Structure formats: C-alpha cells, structure tokens
Amino acid sequence: MTSTLRNRMMLVVGLVAGIAASLMYSASAETPPEKLAATPSVACKPSNLAVAGGRTLKAEDFEEPQACGKCHQRQMKGWQGSMHSLAFKDPVFQAEWALAVKATEGKALNDCGGCHTAIGVTTGTVKFDPSMGKHGGFTVAKQGEHGVSCEVCHSVSGSTAKNSPTGQPGNASLVLNPGETKYGPLLKSVSGYHETQYSELHTKAEFCGSCHNIFHSENKFPIEHTYDEWKSSPYAQADIPCQDCHMVPVEVANQVADRMVRAKDVPNHGLGGLAAKGAKVEREIVHDHGFVGGNAVIAAALGSPGAEEHKAEALKRLQGVADLDMDVRVGKGGAQELRVKVTNLRAGHHLPTSLTFIRRIWLDVAITDDQGRVILRSGELDANNRVDEDTVIFGNHSVDKAGKPTINPWEIASFTQLNTIPPKGFRFGKYAFKLPADAKGFKVVVKLNYQSYDQAVADKLLGKGAVLVPTIEMKALTRSYGADLKMVEARTLASR
Ligand code: HEC
Ligand code: HEC
Ligand code: HEC
Ligand code: HEC
Ligand code: HEC
C-alpha cells in the first residue's frame, strides 16, 4: 500500500520535474547543464573523467545494474552478456592493467580504470592488490565491479572532450552526475523511480568516442581510434552513429550498412515497444544494449549470463562484415600471382579496429594442383595455435619509443606498419606461386580468420594453456582454374 502510494507520488513529482526539465532545456538550449563541468577532475587524473559540480562521490551514489533491470528488462538482457558488463572483471584486461600499474608506479590505476571502471575511479574505491592472480589484481566497491554499467552511461551529463589533445572525445572524456536523474535519449520520458533528462549526447557517436578513442596519457600517441576512423567514414557522412550498429541486433545492423540508412529507417526492424515496465508510450526503437563486437571469448569463459547469445551475435557480426574475392594472373618473371581482395562491407570503422595491434584477422590460403600437390600454403595455424611471420595479417604493428615491438599500451609510441581495412574500402593479399609444367589446373581455397588475441599473448597474460584462443572463420572462398589461369569453377561467390 505505502510503497504504491510512494511510487505514485514519485510519479507525479517525476512528471512535473520532467516537464520542468524539458522546458528548461529548450529555454536555454545554448548553455545546456552539461557545460557546467567541462574540466577533468584532479582526483581522476590522468583520465579525462570529471564529476559534475566537483562533488566527492561515494559508491552508494551509484546503483547496481540489477536494480535497473527490474524495469528495463530488454536493456538488461543485452547488456549482461556484453563486454561492457565485464570491462572491470575481464581477466585479459586485469592482467595487462596489473602489468601497467607496476610499470608506471601506479599512474595506470586511474588511466586505465577511467574507461574500464569509471565508478571505481570517481569514488576512489579501486585498489591494486599485488598478491592477487598471476600478475596482481584489483578490488573495487561492488558498484564498480560492473565495468561500464547502466549507471556509468546514464549518469553522463556532459563531455570534457575540449581538454583532450585534439579537442576530440577520448580517454573517458565524460562528466558524471550520478543521483536521482537518469540522462538518456528519450523526449518526454516519465519514470516513477527516477527523474529523467533528455541528453542529445547519448544519441551521438561522440558519446561512445569518449572511451573508444585512446591516447597515451604522456606521449599522446593515438593508440586506439575507433571514433576517429568512424568520423572520417561514409557512415559519419550519412549520420549513422555507433548506436545504430551496436545497440540493435546484428541483423538490423547489417541492413543499416547495406542500405546506408539509420536503424530507425530499416523497413520492419521490429524494435519498437516499451522502454520500461510501466512505461506509458511506445517508443520507435528500444535499444537492445548488446554492444556486440568481435569478442566471443571472455563472456563465455566467465560463464556470464547471456554469454551464449552474445557469442552467437559476435559470430554473426564477424561472418557478415567482410567480402572475399580473388584473381590469378601472370606476375613478374613468369610466375603466377594470386591476389585476394578483402572488402570491409559493414564495419563503421577500420577492420579490425581499436586494439589493431592485438586482434588478428588474417588470410589462410591453400593452392593445390589437379594432382593433389600443394603449390602454396600460407596462414595455417601451427601446433602452438599461431600463424607464422609471412602470413598476410590485417592490423597495425606497434613499437615503443626505441622502435622495439610492443603491444603494451603504456609503452606504445608509434605504429610502423598500417594494414587495417577502411570502411567500405578493401586491401589485397598477394601471393606468387609456380605451377608445375605438367599441372592441368589448380584449386585455390581462401579463408579469412579472426582471433581476439595471439595465443602467445593469452599465454603470457593468463598462464600457459589457460585459454585456447578460438579461431573464427569469417569468410571462405574456393575457386578452380585451368593451367591457362582461366577460372573453371566458382563456389561461395555464387551464393553471396
Ligand atoms: C555504454 C553505455 C550504456 C550502457 C552501459 C547502458 N546504456 Fe542505456 N543507453 C545508452 C545510449 C547511448 C542510449 C541511447 C541510444 C540512442 O538513442 O541512440 C541508451 C538508451 C537507454 C534507454 C532508453 C530506451 C532505449 O533503450 O533506447 C534506457 C531506458 C536505457 N538505456 C537503460 C539502460 C539500462 C537499464 C542499462 C543497464 C542494464 C543501460 N541502459 C546500459 C548507453 C548505455
Ligand atoms: C579511453 C578508454 C580506455 C582506456 C583509457 C583504456 N582502455 Fe582498455 N579498452 C578500451 C576499449 C574501448 C576496449 C575494447 C576494444 C575492443 O574490444 O575492440 C578495451 C580493451 C582492452 C583490452 C582487451 C580486453 C579483451 O579481453 O579483449 C585490454 C587488455 C585493455 N583494454 C587494457 C588496457 C590497459 C592496460 C589500459 C591502461 C594502460 C587501458 N586498457 C586503458 C578502452 C580503454
Ligand atoms: C520502477 C521501474 C524503473 C526502475 C527500477 C528504473 N527505471 Fe528507468 N525508467 C522507467 C520508466 C517507466 C521510464 C520511462 C520510459 C519512457 O519514457 O518511455 C524510464 C526511463 C529511463 C531512461 C530514459 C531517460 C531519458 O530521458 O531518455 C533511462 C536512461 C533510465 N530509465 C535508466 C535507468 C537506470 C540506469 C536505472 C537503474 C539505476 C533505472 N532506469 C531504473 C522505469 C524504471
Ligand atoms: C565509459 C567508457 C565507455 C563508453 C562510454 C562506451 N564504451 Fe564500449 N567499451 C568500453 C570498454 C572499456 C570496453 C572493453 C571491455 C573489455 O574488453 O574488457 C568496451 C567494449 C565495447 C564493445 C565490445 C568490443 C568487442 O571486442 O566485442 C563494443 C562493440 C562497444 N564497446 C561499443 C560501444 C558503443 C557503441 C558505445 C556508445 C553507445 C560505447 N561502447 C560506449 C568502454 C566504453
Ligand atoms: C555500420 C555499422 C557499424 C558502425 C556505424 C560502427 N560499427 Fe563497430 N563494428 C561493426 C562491425 C561489423 C564490427 C565487427 C568487425 C570488427 O571487429 O571490426 C564492429 C566491431 C566493433 C568493435 C570490436 C572490434 C574488435 O574486434 O575488437 C568495437 C569496439 C566497435 N565496433 C565500436 C564502435 C564504435 C565506438 C563506433 C562508433 C564510433 C562503431 N563501432 C560504429 C559495425 C559498426
């Protein structure tokens, strides 16, 4: 009885406050409230995080996701298998973070934590414990354990992007203002549980870019630049933000990329409905919050709820992103040359993006002649689950300031080789081979493969054999040619 009454009271208060807030917003559109705190908080340095009004936050200022999930079931279902929910717990991250904290005399605690556990950093509750795990581990108030949680994103009231080296979003350039008000994309939103505030920022790629652009905090090198890649892509020109591909099912995202339209304009997207239990109006799109990328390893390894759905979506995403084609011609010195063309059809940024020096996308190529002789083999996994140096790998090579190869973010000072595939663009893998004089024809089998990490990296971080890094076949193409290099049979291509 009492609680129903309280809820109703809150609903009324919420309604009035909601109208007042939306009036205030439209009345002072030039100076929205988020402009009030655009300078990163000293206590969060070197991260670009800020706390609105310079408040000192306690863990209790944030709620745990389970509380939100009671009414926001659809959002909860998607989020809970996502890498956002694991951004603090992820053992691969924690191992690298521990090495970083030790190498930087503690500076990396806030630096890395700003994006991976913004709650831990803004409440000062995140601590390094050298006695945990293989390399050391971390503890944080329970609200901070949920990584990039509902409360992290929906307490964002503004941006500190102006303070980053290029004035672009990056290094957690977010202002957090936790409490009664939840900031989000809905106009005229009313909840009996909390206040609401319309935030245009949440509908923009700049919101995601706050954490999906990473600069080295000292040498300023742009280590990961998914937002920058997007910004100069055809998707940005068509006004298609990250949200339209990563907060809807992969099937809808594929349509977005093929038609180059907003998710809301995909015919029969079927995503309309209520944004919460007890909501009064149907919304054109309710975002499923799956944030699916390429990671099909961690959620499944940790047995998180929703891991299997997330993995299935990640596979669908990887298997739909690229296209393969090939041709064979007479190359230099009379040898034959195979060219494999890989096109980035559906990623709104480079393929791969972000950890371009860690993710592995490579070509596995086999050429056999009509008598079964192997003429060329490249990109085959060896007994250690690794490919050799000559393999065509799409990614970047990172080095430290002395030019020595390193994949540790705190050491990276430059990239020496750039080989990622731009959005809607393509790259070639080239192979020279010599067909035996008595061969009447040959067959080419090409596969495009994905691994989240090199097995050696996983072994170093997690312990040898702790995880067998799976290989995901993104695409395959088989063709047969005569000795005259004319194609005689094309499979896969026809079914494209
Ligand atoms: C990584 C940041 C992020 C996280 C984590 C996150 N959200 Fe959201 N949420 C957004 C963004 C961005 C939008 C707006 C998308 C748009 O309109 O383009 C949104 C939209 C919403 C909406 C409006 C209705 C809809 O779905 O479009 C609700 C309600 C919501 N989120 C609740 C939640 C809850 C509950 C959780 C936790 C289970 C959560 N969010 C986690 C970023 C986040
Ligand atoms: C600006 C935000 C930001 C900062 C700062 C940041 N990260 Fe991350 N980190 C990310 C994002 C975003 C991803 C996911 C990228 C992807 O999956 O493609 C990620 C992923 C990772 C991963 C891969 C995890 C996995 O399982 O695949 C590791 C390891 C990692 N970060 C380590 C670090 C370390 C160490 C630091 C500090 C030196 C750091 N990060 C600082 C945003 C950040
Ligand atoms: C008792 C139910 C209930 C709980 C619990 C709840 N919400 Fe809501 N929330 C709603 C309703 C109802 C709406 C209005 C939906 C609409 O307007 O379509 C809403 C709207 C929102 C919006 C959209 C605001 C906007 O203007 O875009 C966000 C974001 C949000 N909630 C986040 C959260 C978060 C984060 C939590 C957990 C801390 C949470 N909610 C807990 C019921 C709830
Ligand atoms: C507060 C920082 C933060 C914000 C804001 C944020 N992310 Fe993330 N995101 C991360 C971190 C950290 C990870 C990596 C977690 C890990 O792998 O350990 C990540 C992971 C991801 C992944 C999964 C990558 C994979 O390998 O599968 C996707 C996709 C993603 N984010 C998309 C988005 C989108 C879209 C938005 C905006 C709506 C957004 N993120 C906003 C910090 C953030
Ligand atoms: C047109 C659809 C589309 C848009 C727009 C888009 N992405 Fe993606 N994204 C994809 C696809 C497809 C993949 C899988 C291929 C890959 O891993 O690069 C992906 C992968 C990712 C990954 C995981 C990369 C990895 O393998 O570790 C992250 C993180 C990510 N996107 C973040 C973002 C952010 C942030 C934005 C906006 C700045 C964005 N995406 C815009 C389609 C899109």
Residues 425-462 pLDDT 10s = 999 999 999 999 999 999 999 999 999 999 999 999 99
User: How many percent of the chain have pLDDT more than 70?
Assistant: 91
State residue 324's pLDDT score. Answer: 98
SS3 38: coil
> Is 477 a pocket residue for ligand 3 (Cβ < 6 Å)?
no
pLDDT in tens, 62-108: 999 999 999 999 999 999 999 999 999 999 999 999 999 999 999 99
Q: What is the pLDDT of residues 302-352, one digit of tens each?
A: 999 999 999 999 999 999 999 999 999 998 888 899 999 999 999 999 999
Provide the 3-class DSSP secondary structure of residue 92.
Answer: helix
> What is the chain's mean pLDDT, rounded?
91
Predicted confidence at residue 332, as pLDDT, reads 81
pLDDT mean over 203-227? 97
φ and ψ at residue 336, rounded to 5 degrees: -85, 150
Q: What percent of the chain has pLDDT over 90?
A: 86
pLDDT in tens, 112-125: 999 999 999 999 99
Among all chains, which residue has been given the structure tokens 């296209």? 323
Distance CA 157, CA 107 (A): 26
Kindly give the number of the ligand 5 atom that is closest to the alpha carbon of 350.
Answer: 18
Regarding the beta carbon of 110 and ligand 2, being less than 6 Å apart is answered no
In ligand 3, which atom is closest to the CA atom of 197?
26
Write out pLDDT tens, residues 274-295.
999 999 999 999 999 999 999 9
Confidence class of residue 39 from pLDDT cuts 50, 70 and 90? confident
Over residues 215-239, the mean pLDDT reads: 97
Residue 100, CA distances (Å) to 107, 190, 206, 443 in order: 8, 44, 27, 48
Question: Residue 389: what pLDDT?
Answer: 87
Mean pLDDT along residues 127-149: 97
Structure confidence at residue 165 as a pLDDT band (50, 70, 90): confident
Mean pLDDT of 216-241: 97
Ligand 5 first shell, C-beta below 6 A: 205, 208-209, 212, 226-227, 230, 235, 240, 242, 244-246, 253, 256-257, 293-294, 317-318, 321, 346-349, 351-355, 359
Is 50 exceeded by the pLDDT of residue 223? Answer: yes
State residue 175's pLDDT score: 97
Q: How far is the CA of 131 from the CAs of 92, 134, 276, 302, 465, in angstroms?
A: 17, 8, 43, 21, 22
Write down the pLDDT at residue 489: 62
The pick from 212, 262, 349 for probing ligand 5's pocket by mutation, whose C-beta has the most ligand atoms within 8 angstroms, reads 349
CA-nearest residue for atom 23, ligand 5, is 293
Distance 69 CA to ligand 1 centre (A): 11
Of 1.10.3720.10, 3.40.640.10, 2.40.50.100, 2.60.40.10, the CATH number of 321-490 is 2.60.40.10
Tell me the domain boundaries of the chain.
Answer: 2-291, 321-490
CB 97 less than 6 A from any atom of ligand 2: yes
What is the per-residue pLDDT for 333?
A: 83
- What span, in angstroms and rounded, lies between the C-alpha atoms of 13 and 10? 5
Band of pLDDT at residue 4, cut at 50, 70 and 90: very low
The residues, ordered by sequence, that sit 6+ positions from 86 with a Cβ below 8 Å of its Cβ are 147, 298, 299, 302, 304
For residue range 6-36, list pLDDT tens digits in order.
Answer: 333 333 333 333 333 333 333 333 444 444 5
- Give 406: exposed, middle or buried? Use CB within 10 Å, 0-12, 13-18, 19+: middle
In this prediction the pTM is 0.93
Please report the pLDDT score of residue 480 as a whole number: 96
Residue type, 52: A
Is the pLDDT higher at 377 or at 33? 377
